[in-house]
Amino acid sequence: MEITYFEDVEVGHVEESADVAVDRDEMIAYAKANDPWPIHTDEVAASASPFGEVIASFGYVVSLFMRAVHQLPSNQESSQEGFLGALEWRVQFRGAVRGGDRLHLRSTITAKRLSSKGGRGVVTEQHELLNQVGEAAVVIESVSLVLCRPPAADGPEGV
């Protein structure tokens, strides 16, 4: 696998993941362990909510998002050693995620610039977690730090 460097990233590039299934039992078990609000764990309480049923907690949705990120073609074809870390996430909640939904991720590179510190760049992406009817449940704009390609050695023998 080749390393993806800052120079390899193209603004406007779009890619999509395969579907990720929302398993209702897994969704509720996650919420009981990590985010036990009744809307995520109690069918009776959730039925009285505007959603009418148990919905996924954001933590569980993030785990599905990460599953989908690792399915993106670029993450299957190259090493992520060039990825140095996330700097920022801006999250928009657009719709509830329910057991039985099928989600897929559409990621678009929206901007890139060199960092003020040498040897790295900043990449901005828009990630849309879309349900089976194409509606965005969550939109995440991420800003990440990415390693620049090291300078090539001079001459054929690295002089």
CATH number for the domain harbouring residue 32 = 3.10.129.10
Q: Quick one: tokens of 25? A: 């039992």
Q: What is the pLDDT of residue 148?
A: 95
User: What is the C-alpha to C-alpha distance for residues 105 and 68, in angstroms, rounded to an integer?
Assistant: 6
| Percent of the chain predicted with pLDDT > 90 | 81
Tell me the pLDDT tens digit for each residue of 32-62.
999 999 999 999 999 999 999 999 999 999 9
Domain count, the chain: 1
pLDDT at 4 over 90: no
Q: What's the pTM value of the predicted model, to 2 decimals? A: 0.88
Residue 155 lies in a domain: no
CA distance 56 to 54: 7
Q: Quick one: pLDDT band at residue 157, thresholds 50, 70, 90?
A: low
> Is residue 158 in a domain?
no
Helix (H, G, I), strand (E, B) or coil at 55: coil
Question: Residue written as tokens 């690792």?
Answer: 70
Is 152 part of a structural domain of the chain?
A: no
d(CA 82, CA 146): 6
Domain assignment present for residue 157? The answer is: no
59 domain residue, yes or no: yes
69 is a domain residue:
yes
Band (159; pLDDT cuts 50, 70, 90) = very low
- Residue 60: inside a domain: yes
Q: Mark 95-112 as b/e (b = at least 16 C-beta within 10 Å).
A: ebbbbebebbbbbbbeeb
Question: Cα–Cα distance between 56 and 67 in angstroms, integer?
Answer: 15
Q: Is 153 domain-assigned?
A: no
Owning domain of residue 58: 2-147
